[in-house]
Amino acid sequence: MELIKGRAWIFPDDVNTDVIYPGRYMSITDAEETPKYLFETVYPDFRSKAKPGDIIVAGKYFGCGSSREQAATAIRYFGIACVVAYSFARIFYRNAINLGLPIAVVPGIREHVEEGDEITVDLAQGKLKNLTTGKGLSFEPLPRFILDLINQGGLIPATRKKLGLG
C-alpha cells in the first residue's frame, strides 16, 4: 500500500455509528448514496468542507454503538483516505477493513495533529508524520493479510478474486 497523504479532520472520543450515519437512512442500500448523510446530525458542515483524500483523526472508541456497516460505507464512499484514532469499536474496525477502508490505531494521535494539518500514514510501516509540524509517530503496523484486504478493496473483492470470479 502506498503512503496515504491528506488533510486532518479532528473528531472527539466516542463518535458512535448513529452520529456517523443516522439510523433513519438505514433503508438506503446503494453504497454510493450513503455519503449524502455522513455526519448529518452532529457535524453537518463536514460534507461541504471535507474533500476526498482527507483523513479522519479521532479519539477513543470511534465507531461505537450499533454494528451498522453503513457507517464505514459512508466514510469510504465519501472518499476519506484513512481513519486514524486512539481506538475503535471492534465491529466498526472490522467493518472498515471488510469494506477496504484504511484504518489505523495510533495512541496519542490527537496530541500531535490539529485540524487542517497535512499528514501521511504508512499502514505497512506503522508511521504517521505530521507534515505541517514535522513531527512523527509510530504505531502498530497492520498485518499483511489486512493490508491485502484493503488493497483489494475489501473482503468481497478479495474473495471474488481468490475464487476466480473477477
Q: Is 66 exposed, middle or buried (0-12, 13-18, 19+ CB in 10 A)?
A: middle
Give the range of the structural domain holding residue 97, as residue numbers without chain letter. Answer: 4-162
In which order are the strands placed within the sheet that holds 127-130? 103-105, 82-85, 55-58, 4-10, 118-122, 127-130, 136-138
Phi-psi region of 82 (alpha: psi -120 to 50; beta: other; left: phi over 0): beta
CA–CA separation, 45 and 65 (whole Å): 22
Q: Residue 27's domain is classified under what CATH number? A: 3.20.19.10
Instruction: Please write the tens of the pLDDT for every residue from 25-78.
Output: 999 989 999 999 999 999 989 999 999 999 999 999 999 998 889 999 999 999
pLDDT bucket at 2, cuts 50 / 70 / 90: confident
pLDDT of residue 13: 96
pLDDT of residue 1: 60
pLDDT for residue 146 is more than 70: yes
Mean pLDDT for 156-160 is 90
pTM recorded for the entire structure:
0.95
Total structural domains in the chain?
A: 1
Instruction: Please write the tens of the pLDDT for every residue from 85-108.
Output: 999 999 999 999 999 999 999 999
Instruction: Please write the tens of the pLDDT for every residue from 106-121.
Output: 999 999 999 999 999 9
